[in-house]
Structure 1
């Protein structure tokens, strides 16, 4: 039987958690049917390190931006700086960027400025914007709508675990929602219900590894191979076979992350 193929649309392979076993982690992902991974740079000064990882592995692509929790501590990115990165053949997305008021509400204004810079770069490059949103649903929805009115852009709400209202705001703009291991947690029924209302052609899967490992690995280091566990839960949410859900989310990924198309 042909193995169902998946994509981990968001991981952090540059993190120290993987330094001792990066080759093995990528190999295990391939063995699990996770044939492509997008590793995310969260601080632009670290972009050369993340780029080198993407260059080392045929199955790994990368994106870069300033994470909202670092927005106050890092230099404000410029649109030109982000556009220049897009020249690299394995650079496939802008971000992650966004708003996080759970831990860093005091930097809300600089987060908003940074977010708008990243949106402008996504609009110019036609690459997907990768959004991190936590405890900032109203401001996030307002900025996404406001900026879309200034000109369309593509976007994925990475590791989506926010409200039904933010999900609707994103979907109304034809954006994508990405399932992380959170959707597989036993107490995440409300989140599963939100995903069940989304069009299946607007859903991606990811690990956000090394964080948020799904059962049966919860509480341990996550890795791209575990995308398969989340995808099995996703298949149940949509009433699909694992193979059909894997094929659908991979097609969705190819549509959004067009530079990484298989």
Structure 2
């Protein structure tokens, strides 16, 4: 007989889902996913744009509920589809009321789905959009630590609002550079994977004031629900794991990561 999985814990403190892909979720109706998320005190959800095909979809999704928000940006996998017209669309909507960041942008040398030179050019162009519109950035970086640092250094003085390097799996060099520059690091279900001690090491070195919680749903479902499609309502497990790894009270992790999310994506005027 298979072992029964733990029920999802419900905490008194609200949680903000800083990175998911609502348009990729297939196992349940979206309305049910959002209802389940609210039941475990997910207060806000940010759904992330990744390609020319879903920029408009994300904008539409950001209006399905008052507590759902979106981003605009092109993932490095899609860098070769970037164009002046795509850039114009991102710029047109960069300051929409329900759009909170430019992303997901960056570099991915693991899959190399796009030419590396093109990736670097598109990364720079979208960082400039963030600078021009005073928007934070959601960064994807995989096996590209040195080039990510090099490019971010070019924008140190012009990017007024930093943002997050999401789903952080890079080395301590990139982590320390980002932390020193005031970036947040986003952690998800990977922190619960047996073979992810390298990621847990980065969690330990990251001040709790610079950690954001995310699922990256439908990917990277945390233990004990690995094998199922991920969803925002699994965020409580990630909060628990962060508290365990950092040896901090859960309440402190919940309250501080909530404030970090507000500071990054929902600053008060």
Task: Classify the TM-score, shorter chain.
Answer: over 0.9
The within-5 A match list for 1:202-221 is: 202-221=210-229
Q: Please point out which of 253, 263, 269 is paired with 1:255.
A: 263
C-alpha contact 2:131 2:158 (8 A) present in aligned 1: no
1:13 paired to 2:28: no
Identify the range of structure 1 (148-157 vs 210-219) with the bigger mean alpha-carbon deviation. 148-157
Q: Which residue of 1 aligns with 2:149?
A: 141
> What is the TM-score with the length of structure 2 in the denominator?
0.90
The within-5 A match list for 1:120-135 is: 120-135=128-143
Mapped to 1, the partners of 2:61 and 2:121 lie a distance apart of 29
Mapped to 1, the partners of 2:75 and 2:125 lie a distance apart of 12
- CA change 1:50–1:241 in 2 (3 A) is same
SS of aligned partner of 2:95: coil
Mapped to 1, the partners of 2:13 and 2:63 lie a distance apart of 25
Q: Please point out which of 167, 170, 173 is paired with 1:159.
A: 167
Query: What are the superposed Cα offsets for residues 164-212 of structure 1, whole Å, 9 maximum, x if unpaired?
Result: 1110111111111001110111222221121111111111010000000
- CA change 1:32–1:83 in 2 (3 A) is same
1:189 paired to 2:197: yes
Mapped to 2, the partners of 1:173 and 1:86 lie a distance apart of 23
SS of aligned partner of 1:35: strand
Q: Which residue of 2 aligns with 1:87?
A: 95
Identify the range of structure 1 (169-178 vs 147-156) with the bigger mean alpha-carbon deviation. 147-156
Mapped to 1, the partners of 2:185 and 2:225 lie a distance apart of 23
Q: Please point out which of 110, 121, 126 is paired with 1:102.
A: 110
Gaps of 5+ in 2: 1-9
C-alpha contact 2:102 2:136 (8 A) present in aligned 1: yes
Mapped to 2, the partners of 1:16 and 1:155 lie a distance apart of 25
The Cα RMSD (Å) is: 1.9
Q: Which residue of 2 aligns with 1:67?
A: 75
> What is the TM-score with the length of structure 1 in the denominator?
0.92
Higher helix share: 1
C-alpha contact 1:126 1:154 (8 A) present in aligned 2: no
Cα deviation for residue 4 of structure 1 reads 1.7
SS of aligned partner of 1:245: helix
Query: What are the superposed Cα offsets for residues 127-158 of structure 1, whole Å, 9 maximum, x if unpaired?
Result: 11100011111111111112214554412001
- Runs of 4+ aligned residues of structure 1 deviating over 6 Å after TM superposition are none
Q: Please point out which of 36, 42, 67 is paired with 2:50.
A: 42
Aligned length: 259
Gaps of 5+ in 1: none
Cα deviation for residue 3 of structure 1 reads 1.2
Cα deviation for residue 79 of structure 1 reads 5.5
SS of aligned partner of 1:92: strand
